[in-house]
């Protein structure tokens, strides 16, 4: 969305904010991890990693769900889910 000038300005700004927050969280993982021994996992690191994983999974599933909306096959929900699975695996 960052380069998509057809999207509304608010949507582009929200996408940019999301990207900045995601980058900050990933950098914070490196900072937290660099302050401990390689074999030690702190609670802050574990919680940050869990949040990043949950948010990334939700984002990915929403992208997959919306990826075939324009060319979704007609038919039942099972066919539409198969189309999304084919997209995920391609």
pLDDT of 39-48, one tens digit each?
Answer: 777 787 788 7
Burial class (CB in 10 A: 0-12, 13-18, 19+), 89: exposed
For the cut 80, the answer to whether the pLDDT of residue 89 exceeds it is: no
The whole-number pLDDT of residue 43 equals 83
The whole-number pLDDT of residue 22 equals 83
CB 2 within 8 A of CB 15: yes
The owner of tokens 């990207």 is: 19
For the cut 80, the answer to whether the pLDDT of residue 57 exceeds it is: yes
């Amino acid at each position: 969305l960052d380069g998509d000038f057809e999207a509304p300005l608010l949507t582009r700004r929200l996408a940019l904010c999301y990207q900045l927050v995601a980058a900050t969280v990933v950098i914070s993982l490196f900072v937290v991890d660099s302050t401990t021994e390689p074999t030690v996992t702190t609670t802050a690191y574990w919680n940050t990693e869990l949040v990043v994983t949950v948010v990334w999974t939700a984002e990915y599933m929403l992208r997959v769900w919306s990826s075939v909306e324009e060319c979704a096959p007609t038919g039942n929900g099972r066919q539409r889910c198969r189309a999304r699975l084919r997209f995920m695996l391609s």
